[in-house]
Amino acid sequence: MTLSRAPAPTDAALLAGFAEAALAAGVAIRRIEAEGISHSRKADASPVTEADHAAEAIICAALAHLLPGVPVVAEEAMAAGASVTCGNRFLLVDPLDGTREFISGNGEYTVNIALVEDGTPVLGVVYAPARALLFAGRPGAAFRAIRAPGAAVDAQDWTPIACRTVPNGPIVVAASRSHGDPATDALIERYEVAERIPAGSALKFGLLAEGKVDLYPRLGTVMEWDSAAGHALVVAAGGRVTRPDGSPLTYGHAEAGFKVRGFVAWGAGHRSFHAAAS
């Protein structure tokens, strides 16, 4: 007797599963936020809280059930010295992106979950628990939904979103609230900017994906788990995310410590930015 193998989950089912994991993590994060936040410092001097660890445990348990055997590269595990062989298909998890925003109490932090295939993020969820705001993207479709932490996932009523076409005139730019750097500022200053919107964490990718900004550059070094989910979201919404020189931004570079040496994210039909980034 031959046992039949269960069919692989569809992209839509996986995205809903990612959203469910992020919403569950949001419950733990908000509970700790309400009880009072204390933090320590990791080896790289960045802050870490109990919420980072609690959220990561919830997400990784959910992903092990959803995609058994698929490697998970998660921020706090990596900070603790974990070693992961990525292969052609793996997951990137930032359980609490924007820990500084979380500690400050401004609500601009997110939970980021991404599936990477052959070096490219293909599915991504960015969830802001304090704002009950969920962004989700899969190939050819991006969505926005209002979901409180722990709420049921019903993708049927997610609202489709799309990047807007970048205008020929002044553009709207999203920039980091807590991690500005001179190179990024210099790039932005080379454009005619109608408005510059500061925001924390991966929320800036959400602003781009729903058509509220045209450009989100970050030339400072970040980690793959910081950008992968937002990268997938923006591409799903019709935009583009590349290295600053316009070459493809790929993931799974364990030999480089999973560092991303800057990126530029544009809306739809974007103008060339290579000269500005050089």
On the question of pLDDT at 12 being above 50, the answer is yes
pLDDT confidence of residue 278: 40
Q: Please state the residue numbers annotated as binding site.
A: 75, 94, 96-99, 226
Instruction: Give per-residue pLDDT as tens, 165-180.
Output: 999 899 999 998 777 7
CATH classification (class only), 11-160: alpha beta
On the question of pLDDT at 277 being above 60, the answer is no
On the question of pLDDT at 42 being above 80, the answer is no
pTM value > 0.85: yes
Least confident of 34-38, 189-193, 222-226, 274-278: 274-278
Q: Please state the residue numbers annotated as binding site for Mg(2+).
A: 75, 94, 96-97, 226
Q: Please state the residue numbers annotated as binding site for substrate.
A: 75, 96-99, 226
- Residues of the chain within CATH 3.40.190.80 domain(s) are 171-277
Angle at 37 between CA 174 and CA 40, to 5 degrees: 85
pLDDT category, 3, cuts 50, 70, 90? low
Average pLDDT estimate for 229-244: 97
pLDDT category, 233, cuts 50, 70, 90? very high
Instruction: Give per-residue pLDDT as tens, 108-132.
Output: 999 999 999 999 999 999 999 999 9
pLDDT confidence of residue 275: 36
On the question of pLDDT at 276 being above 90, the answer is no
- Residues of the chain within CATH 3.30.540.10 domain(s) are 11-160
pLDDT category, 36, cuts 50, 70, 90? confident
Look up the CATH number of domain 171-277. 3.40.190.80
